[in-house]
């Protein structure tokens, strides 16, 4: 069986902050990863949890794989385009503002495959 992929693109949070959450679930069983993400008190936990749940649903629906047999083989958070604008400051200067975003990809595999 091939790997099961799911992605979320242009997540409005920096890749550095998302990596702090995804490091908790890398290599874990899919059920265990969902439980961990349910109780993590970080803003990035909800979209990552939805992403893992979507990948599990893809596996069950498209490949007929049981949820208990899946584990998180690979999960990455990469930088997406940054929105840039400026805030004007004193003495004719300006302060650059950066709104960072990220692309998160999860790959599930069947245990023992």
What's the domain range around 9? 4-110
Instruction: Give the pLDDT score at 112.
Output: 76
Measure CA 100 to chain center.
15
Number of separate domains in the chain: 1
pLDDT tens for each residue of 52-109: 999 999 999 999 999 999 999 999 999 999 999 999 999 999 999 999 999 999 999 9
Give the residue from 102, 103, 96, 104 showing the smallest Cα distance to 13: 102
* pTM, two decimal places: 0.89
**Within 10 Å of residue 54's Cβ, how many Cβ atoms?**
15
- Judge whether 70 and 59 are in contact, CB under 8 Å: yes
Distance CA 4, CA 75 (A): 12
What angle separates helix 45-58 from helix 15-22, to the nearest 10 degrees?
Answer: 60
Taking 90 as the threshold, does the pLDDT of residue 113 lie above it? Answer: no
CATH number, position 94: 3.90.470.10
């Amino acid at each position: 069986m091939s790997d099961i992929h799911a992605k979320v693109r242009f997540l409005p949070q920096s890749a550095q902050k998302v990596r702090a959450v995804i490091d908790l679930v890398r290599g874990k069983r899919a059920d265990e990863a969902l439980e961990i993400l349910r109780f993590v008190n970080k803003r990035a936990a909800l979209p990552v949890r939805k992403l893992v749940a979507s990948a599990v649903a893809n596996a069950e629906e498209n490949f007929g794989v049981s949820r208990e047999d899946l584990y998180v083989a690979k999960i990455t958070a990469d930088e997406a385009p940054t929105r840039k604008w400026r805030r004007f400051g004193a003495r004719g200067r300006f302060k650059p503002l950066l709104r960072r975003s990220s692309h998160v990809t999860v790959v599930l595999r069947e245990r023992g495959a």
